């Protein structure tokens, strides 16, 4: 289990005894604390440390609680502030709320009263933080969906003209003698059009929905078949292919066409990532009712700031990449109730997990 860091609270009060009482109480209840004697000192703490919450007295020398509230709210709007006021300080307490304090508590207060207010405030902060993440995620998804459908539309429109250009260049090629400059031009056109065609295929593929047609397939046969299609390219580049399969006869429920596509994207990526010679290894293992595949390649590791973005649609570091291979792979694998992730390994390793059986099998 991952432990979330303890919330950090700054206690501000000019009475040392009271400060210590609060920091001890909060410390005993799982909060990290610091203490300051007045508003100005508190502002210095805020500059150095990240706090979730400040618990501040109102009446203090040098800089009082209200003045501190105004300065800190304008500079650090996400830090919540709870003000403590003596009996009769209702007027300033109300003013504090107007200037953005989360709440106020009246001195003297009980331990439970203080803890409950602090807990409520931290909880509110946690919820608004989660809400913000969910909203950002939603906005991102909507933007991606719009981008996805726009590119698919464009790709569909481009398909026909591209095919015509391809056919024309192939026709022209036959009209010129070999090594003729004009034939080379036709060849160059053909090559570029094929790149564009591959891109349009990725765009269309990304925007479609996946309803796998499950059939029991020998998974190692599927892997081998796709490995065959990349074998000559691998050999030319000096890449060795290593395989270590569990039970070779193992059958897994999957949509063969879709999974071939996934393995194709992953092997392409692995070979492209190595640039020169290296090793592409495919390892399978049976774990209870799942099959686990490790597809790895040697070569320089993926920089840590990029690791999180690999599966984002349109994320690519390649000049001719679409950044859709991994996004499509993840969607296909999820449509099989499986998962794919980048494993922590010295090589680049993608770990795929697939259920061996599927209820919706034909």
User: Which residues sit at the interface with Mg ion, rule CB under 5 A?
Assistant: 269, 325
Q: How far is the CB of 73 from Mg ion (least distance, A)?
A: 48
The neighbour count for residue 343, using CB atoms within 10 Å, is 13
Provide Rg for the chain, Cα atoms: 31
The neighbour count for residue 276, using CB atoms within 10 Å, is 8
Question: Of residues 78, 128, 229, 317, which one binds ligand ADP by CB under 6 A?
Answer: 317
Cis peptide leading into residue 332 (ω within 30°): no
Q: How far is the CB of 146 from ligand ADP (least distance, A)?
A: 19
With respect to ligand ADP, which residue has the nearer C-beta, 82 or 270? Answer: 270
Binding to ligand ADP in span 284-303, by CB under 6 A:
297, 302
Contacts for 261 with CB less than 8 Å, ≥ 6 apart? 205, 328, 329, 332
Structure tokens at 288: 């209870």
85 binds, among ligand ADP, Mg ion, none (CB under 5 to 8 A by kind): none
**If you search the block for the tokens 């309803």, which residue do you land on?**
211
Q: How far apart (Å, rounded) are the C-alpha atoms in residues 6 and 296?
A: 38
The interface region with ligand ADP, picked from 1-9, 15-23, 106-114, 324-332 by CB under 6 A, is 324-332
264 binds, among ligand ADP, Mg ion, none (CB under 5 to 8 A by kind): none
With respect to ligand ADP, which residue has the nearer C-beta, 68 or 206? Answer: 206
245 binds, among ligand ADP, Mg ion, none (CB under 5 to 8 A by kind): none
Q: Does 318 bind ligand ADP (CB under 6 A)?
A: yes
Q: Give 243's strand partners.
A: 282
DSSP 3-state assignment of 273?
Answer: helix
Work out the widest C-alpha separation in the chain, in whole angstroms: 101
Closest C-alpha to 53, from 7, 15, 16:
7
The interface region with ligand ADP, picked from 106-114, 205-213, 219-227, 312-320 by CB under 6 A, is 312-320
Q: How far is the CB of 80 from Mg ion (least distance, A)?
A: 45
Residue 311 is classified by DSSP as T
The footprint of ligand ADP on this chain (CB under 6 A) covers a number of residues equal to: 19
Q: How far is the CB of 270 from ligand ADP (least distance, A)?
A: 5
Q: How far apart (Å, rounded) are the C-alpha atoms in residues 170 and 193?
A: 11
**If you search the block for the tokens 């950090």, which residue do you land on?**
8
With respect to ligand ADP, which residue has the nearer C-beta, 57 or 202? Answer: 202
324 binds, among ligand ADP, Mg ion, none (CB under 5 to 8 A by kind): ligand ADP
27 binds, among Mg ion, ligand ADP, none (CB under 5 to 8 A by kind): none
Contacts for 221 with CB less than 8 Å, ≥ 6 apart? none
Q: Does 270 bind ligand ADP (CB under 6 A)?
A: yes
Q: Which residues bind ligand ADP (CB under 6 A)?
A: 265, 269-270, 273, 297, 302, 310, 315-318, 321-327, 348
């Amino acid at each position: 289990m991952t432990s979330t860091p303890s919330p950090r609270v700054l206690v501000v009060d000019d009475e040392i005894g009271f400060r210590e009482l609060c920091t001890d109480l909060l410390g005993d209840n799982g909060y990290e604390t610091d203490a300051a004697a007045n508003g100005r000192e508190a502002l210095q703490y805020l500059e150095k440390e990240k706090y979730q919450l400040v618990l501040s007295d109102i009446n203090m020398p040098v800089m009082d609680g209200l003045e501190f509230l105004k300065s800190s709210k304008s500079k650090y709007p996400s830090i919540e502030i709870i003000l403590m006021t003596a009996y009769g300080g209702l007027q300033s307490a109300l003013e504090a709320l107007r200037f953005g304090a989360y709440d106020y508590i009246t001195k003297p207060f009980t331990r439970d009263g203080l803890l409950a207010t602090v807990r409520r405030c931290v909880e509110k902060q946690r919820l608004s933080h989660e809400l913000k993440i969910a909203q950002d995620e939603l906005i991102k998804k909507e933007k991606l969906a719009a981008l996805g459908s726009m590119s698919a539309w464009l790709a569909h429109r481009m398909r026909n003209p591209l095919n015509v250009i391809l056919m024309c260049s192939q026709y022209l090629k036959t009209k010129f003698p070999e090594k003729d400059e004009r034939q080379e031009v036709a060849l160059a056109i053909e090559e570029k059009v094929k790149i564009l065609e591959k891109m349009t295929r990725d765009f269309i593929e990304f925007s479609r929905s996946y309803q796998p047609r499950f059939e029991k397939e020998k998974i190692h046969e599927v892997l081998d078949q796709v490995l065959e299609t990349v074998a000559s390219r691998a050999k030319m580049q000096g890449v060795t292919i290593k395989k270590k399969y569990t039970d070779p006869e193992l059958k897994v429920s999957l949509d063969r066409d879709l999974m071939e596509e996934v393995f194709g994207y992953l092997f392409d990526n692995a070979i492209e990532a190595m640039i020169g010679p290296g090793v592409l290894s495919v390892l399978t293992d049976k774990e209870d009712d799942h099959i686990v595949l490790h597809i790895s390649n040697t070569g320089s590791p993926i920089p840590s700031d990029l690791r999180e973005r690999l599966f984002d649609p349109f994320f690519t570091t390649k000049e001719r990449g679409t950044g859709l291979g991994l996004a499509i792979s993840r969607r296909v694998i999820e449509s099989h109730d499986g998962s794919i992730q980048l494993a922590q390994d010295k090589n680049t390793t993608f770990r795929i997990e697939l259920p061996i059986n599927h209820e919706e099998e034909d």
